[in-house]
Every structure is written in C-alpha cells, then in structure tokens.
Amino acid sequence: MSREIPQIGPADYAVPAAAAQWQKRWLIVGVVGAALCVIGAVISRDQLDQVLRGYLIAYIFWLGLSLGCLALLMVQYLSGGLWGLVLRRVFEAASKGLPLMFVLFLPILFGRHHLYAWMNDPSLTARNSWYLHTSGFGGWIARWILYFAIWGGLALILVRRGNTQDYPQPAGTWLRIQGISGLGLVLYSLTVSFAVVDWIMSLDPHWGSTIYGLIFLAGQGLSALAFGIVMLTLFTRYSPFREIIKPMQFHDIGKLMLAFVMLFAYFSFSQWLIIWAGNLPEEIGWYLDRIRGGWGVVALIIILFHFALPFALLLSRERKRAGSRLIGLAVFLMFMRVVDIYWYVVPNFAHEQGHFYLSIWYVVAPLAVGGLWLSFFFYNLRDRPLLPLYEPQIPSLLHQRSHGH
C-alpha cells in the first residue's frame, strides 16, 4: 500500500479526446435544429406561436441545467464530498453556459407578445398579480438582467476559484469560497423563484402558487445530478478516470438523485394537495386545464415516470453503484424534466387549455437549444483538466484508488 500521491500533472487528467467529437456533433444538432426553428417561425403566425412555446420549454430546461449545476457546485463547496469533487469541472463548464443562455433569452424577449397574454393587455394582471402589475414590462426586463448579473457573477467567481486549483494553493482560500457559496445559494434560491414566476407562472396571470419556485429548484437539482451521472459515466470509459472514479462516487450521486426525485414529488404533491383541498375557483382551474382533455395522461405519466419508477429503481444499492446501470435512468429523468415543463407551459394557452396538444416544435426546440448548450459545454470542459489537482480533497480521491481492486 502506498500513501504517496502519484507524481502526475494536469496533462494526465485531460478531458478524453472524444469530447471534441461530441462537441462537433452536438453543434450540428444545435445548428440544424435552430435552422428548422427559424424556418418554422417564418412559415406562419400559428407555427411561430408553437415554435416559441417549444423554445420556452427548451429554454427553461437547459437554463435550469446550468443553474442546477451552479447550485450543486456551491453545495459541494459547503458540504465537501468526493461525489462533487469528481463533478466539479462538469458543474463549472455547465455554469459557463450562462452567458450563452443570456443571449438565448432574446427570442423570448422579442417573442413575448406571442407568449405572455399580459404583455398585450396589462389589465390582465390587475386583478390577481400585484407583483406583475406594478412592475410591468420594465420590471420584467430589468429582472432578466439582474438575474443574469447575479448568476453570471457567481459563476465567474466560482469558476475562477476553481481554475486556481490546477496549481499549488496557499492555505486559507477555502473559507472565503465557502462564504461566497453560502451567500450564493441564498441568492440562487431567490432569483430562480422569481425567474420562474416571471417566465412561466406569468403565462397565466390570474393564477399563483407559493411553492412554484421550489418545484423548479428541485427540478434543476435533479437535472444537474442526472447530467453529472451521464458525464461521469462517459468519462469513466477512459483512462485514468476509469481507475480513479469508484462505485462509491456513483453511489453518492445516485443517493442524491433519489433524494431529489422524492423532493420533486413532495413539492409537486404539496402544491396539488393544497389547491385540491381548497378547491377555490381561481386556483383549481389550473389543474383542471392540466387533467382534462388528454392532459390527465401526461399528468399520470409524470407521476409514474418522474416519480414512482425512478424511485423504485433507485432503491437498489447495486444500481446506484454502477454508472452503466444509472446512465439510462439519468437520461430518462432529464427527458421527464422536459415533459414536466411541457405540462406546466403548454396548457396555459387558450387553445390548449383542457385539450391535449403536442407540436413537433416541442421536440425540435429542446434538441436545438440542447445541441448548442452541449456543444458549448464540451468546448468549455475541454479547456481544463477534468480534475482540480491541487484541491485539498484530491489526495483522498487518489488514495482510494490504491485500495480498490
């Protein structure tokens, strides 16, 4: 048994060369998808509406992935743990996607009159939404900039701090990053809660739910953990990560994913229980629009496949300990996140209230934005070694290597 850390340099932990291929392929998907969306948007006004709705679904999901990764990055700085150490570069590269998502908000900004009824008729917000009514369009756009200033600022600080870990570090920098992470998580929770009210909940200006932000926070955490499992499984196909990353890390991330599946179900059920128990005309309509006319099947699919099935599968210890057995479920859960957002977004619009509708654009737009997001992700990821070599916990990660056979 050797307690020495092997003499290795950052070059030994370079991102596998295959990532360059992935970057290129996803860029093709993104560009082709975006071109299709542009074509769809100019065909007719009806199609433009559908493209924008698909785009909003896509935007909420992929932005959520960047934000979930940013949040887990901060959580890991506070809690420690090898599960997050092996994902740090993944989380950082996903956080670096935030500038891209800032720019990708522009179609929503310019298409707002097709999405948000209250933008055309401000009196809609007068009855029930003091928040939207007093701030109006000016407040909405100012908050968009404020959210991204906060998210971008946090990402910048954390990524810069992460970059320094490729080199030997003076002692004492640890506490400062913990302070920033603690404050950052508070800011993250507040800004995401407000952002989903601005961008999704306000699609129906008469309806409000106080747990709405929490549902999306849980969803973002779930997406980020699932994405982390996919990336970690891909990288453990290559040396030296195959030898370094142990079942223990997958086990921990799998346990967290199980917790977030339950958290999502808990928040979602709480919203339903309170509105169902109150049964007030101004609230229950939101659920009726999402149960009647075929939407009930989607709701059932979400209960079964966003909660029940993943919950049952993730109870197994063996499943959680092997990336190869988790990756399929992780991809599936990311897909179910999109389905859940689809179920939240689409029944807001007059024609789709209580009438199931699935446009091809609800599939194309998430792939288009996803292609661009993933391509940019791999571009950022390849910039740095996949492990921060001078991070204080690295010895315990490499040390477990000498135990394992």
Question: 142: which 2 tokens?
Answer: 């100012």
Q: Which is nearer to other proteins, 17 or 312 (CB)?
A: 312
* 316 CA to centre of own chain: 25
Q: Which is nearer to other proteins, 3 or 45 (CB)?
A: 3
Q: Which residues contact 361 (CB under 8 A, 6 or more apart)?
A: 37, 40, 47, 50, 51, 53, 54, 55
Q: What is the DSSP letter of 304?
A: I
Annotate 310-323 with DSSP letters as a single string.
HHHHHT-HHHHT-H
Identity at 255, one-letter amino acid code: K
Question: 78: which 2 tokens?
Answer: 């506070």
Q: Which is nearer to other proteins, 202 or 268 (CB)?
A: 268
Q: Which is nearer to other proteins, 272 or 305 (CB)?
A: 272
The counts of H helices and E strands in the chain are 20, 0
Least distance (Å) between residue 276 CB and other proteins: 5
Q: Which is nearer to other proteins, 1 or 17 (CB)?
A: 1
Query: Which H or E run includes 323?
Result: helix 323-345
Place of tokens 């958290």: 263
d(CA 49, CA 57) in angstroms, rounded, equals 13
Chain residues that interact with other proteins, rule: CB under 8 A:
1, 3, 248, 269, 272-273, 276-277, 279, 315, 317, 399, 403
Q: 85, 397 in Cβ contact below 8 A?
A: yes
Give CA separation, 231 vs 93, 162, 335, in Å: 12, 19, 16
Residues constituting the chain = 405
Question: 318: which 2 tokens?
Answer: 């063996």
Q: Which is nearer to other proteins, 321 or 355 (CB)?
A: 321
Q: Which is nearer to other proteins, 227 or 264 (CB)?
A: 264
Q: Is 187 exposed, middle or buried (0-12, 13-18, 19+ CB in 10 A)?
A: middle
Q: Which is nearer to other proteins, 45 or 403 (CB)?
A: 403
Cα distance between the two ends of the chain: 12
